[in-house]
Every structure is written in C-alpha cells, then in structure tokens.
C-alpha cells in the first residue's frame, strides 16, 4: 500500500474532495486532506495517502499564511466571488495609510463569526447545507489570532493583503470584517494559501505533476518525530500494540520500525511508550 504525504498546489475551481477522489483512483489507496480550501481558492493543500491518513491529527498547522484580494463595494452571500451578489454600493477611495491602519487593527487575538456558507457542523449538519435548505441557525464566534497582516497593493476597488492567521480562522470572514471596518462592503475575489505551519507553497506540486515519487514517507514528512529501529522482541510486541520501553527517546511521539519498515507510531506516557496508531501495511 502506498503511504505518505503530498504537498499539493490546488487549482482554482476544483473542490478538495474531488482532489482526494482523483488521487485515490490514481494510487488505489485511501486519501484524505487537512485544512479544506474553498473551490475558488488555490494553494497549499496537505494530502495524506494510505496509512498516513491516520497521522493527520499530528500535523502541526497552528498558523497558515494567505494572500487575498478583497473587492470593496460589492457583497456576496458566500463572501467570495462564487456567491450571489446581494448588495452593491459606491465604495469610497481610501488612502494607503487608512488601509494599513485598518489591517493593523486586526492584529492579535479576537473573535470571528464563521461564514454561513462553511463546513462548520451545526447539530450534525454542515452549515452550507442548512443555508441551501433555508434553515435558520446561529453560528457561534470562534477564537482566532492574527500574527501578521500587511497591505500588498491597493488599486481601487481591490485591496491585496497577506495574512498569517491561527488554525480555524476564515479569510472570507476577515475580508468582510475589513470592509466593514472601512465603512463599506466587500468580498474576496481570490485567495491563495502559501504556508501551513512549516510547509511552504514552494514545496508543492500541481495535481497533474503528482506521481508516486512525489509522496513523502511518513517519518520524513513528520521529521520532528524520531524513528526507532526495534529488536525482534520489540517488533513482536509492537505488531500487537503492546507497550514499549524506549531508552533515550525524548520526543513525545516516535515512529518504530523493523528491518527499516515503519510499523507504528508511539507516544510517551510517563516512563513507557504506548501505541498511537499501527502502520503495519505502510510502504515507505
């Protein structure tokens, strides 16, 4: 079974689930992704294949960086260009200083209301499904943190900006909030994710370029966790999910292998290691 991770540069107009399905057919293995991008958005998408899908929760993605284009004066129901126009007005011309100061006002921790058209779960249903069915619901504000935000270009009526935001933050909502703080309306016309945690867009391949050679082995991708080669006795324990004593391992997690084959990933619990996920069929 093919197992590992892919750093993909997503094209505009293709949904993440369709990308998963395409790769699943190509490699004949299960495929999943971390951090959904809207159809209109492009950029870095983390893909897991085979046994690596079990390790998605371990990927550190506390902060993500995006480049966005906000068009002021026009609002859509989805807060992006794929939505229906619900309001138009003559937006004022802003000075560069006004935009810079407005963007800077979003730095730090705050609350954000997710878009109604989002994949948020509401009583067991996706928010976007409820909207399409005309069902009323309330979206609770979420905690976000904006680490960096800067103006890249302003050509009326569009504002290009770059932002680094905590996991779970919505750039569509941020664009709407920026327009509101500028006393106008707006929506995003483009969005590109260029960084997730330590992973950068420069490392990515397009969907057409991805081959088996593009798949990064699990222990190479999650290089912050060491790989420990087991003895035969330890191997027999590991394949049954038994506890292990691993001397001189200081990391909270580690891969264990036998004959250079990844067997499982273990986590530290007091003075022993317990099995987090078995990866017996991985091929790396």
Active site residues: 38
Sign of the CA dihedral with 55 first, then 61, 65, and 70 last: positive
Contacts of 231 (CB under 8 A, 6+ apart): none
Contacts of 270 (CB under 8 A, 6+ apart): none
What tokens does 4 get?
């590992």
DSSP bridge partners of 75: 87
Contacts of 19 (CB under 8 A, 6+ apart): 8, 10, 33, 45, 47, 207
Rg (CA), the chain: 22
Distances, alpha carbon 268 to alpha carbons 26, 61, 122, 277, in Å:
36, 21, 35, 13
What tokens does 230 get?
């087991």
Distances, alpha carbon 187 to alpha carbons 26, 67, 76, 171, 276, in Å:
36, 14, 6, 10, 42
Residue 272 CA to residue 207 CA, distance in Å, equals 42
Provide the CB-side half-sphere exposure for 192 (13 A, CA). Answer: 13
Check if the beta carbon of residue 228 is closer than 8 Å to that of residue 268: no
């Amino acid at each position: 079974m093919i197992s590992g991770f892919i750093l993909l540069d997503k094209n505009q107009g293709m949904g993440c689930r369709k990308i998963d399905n395409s790769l699943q057919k190509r490699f004949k293995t299960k495929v999943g992704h971390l951090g959904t991008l809207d159809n209109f958005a492009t950029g870095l998408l983390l893909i897991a294949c085979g046994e690596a899908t079990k390790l998605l929760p371990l990927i550190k993605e506390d902060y993500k960086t995006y480049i966005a284009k906000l068009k002021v004066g026009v609002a859509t129901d989805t807060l992006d260009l794929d939505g229906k126009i619900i309001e138009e007005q003559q937006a004022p011309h802003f000075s560069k200083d006004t935009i810079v100061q407005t963007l800077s006002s979003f730095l730090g921790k705050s609350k954000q209301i997710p878009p109604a058209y989002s994949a948020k779960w509401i009583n067991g249903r996706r928010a976007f499904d409820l909207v399409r069915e005309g069902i009323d619901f309330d979206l609770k504000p979420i905690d976000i943190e904006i680490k960096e935000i800067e103006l890249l270009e302003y050509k009326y009526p569009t504002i290009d900006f770059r932002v680094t935001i905590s996991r779970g933050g919505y750039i569509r909502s941020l664009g709407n909030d920026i327009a509101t703080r500028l006393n106008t309306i707006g929506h995003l016309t483009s969005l590109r994710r260029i960084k997730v945690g330590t992973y950068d867009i420069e490392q990515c391949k397009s969907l057409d370029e991805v081959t088996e050679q593009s798949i990064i082995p699990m222990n190479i991708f999650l290089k912050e966790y060491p790989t420990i080669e087991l003895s035969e006795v330890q191997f027999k324990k590991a394949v049954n999910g038994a506890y292990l004593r691993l001397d001189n391992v200081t990391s909270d997690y580690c891969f264990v292998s036998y004959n250079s084959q990844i067997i499982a990933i273990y986590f530290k619990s007091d003075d022993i290691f317990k099995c987090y996920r078995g990866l017996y069929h991985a091929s790396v």
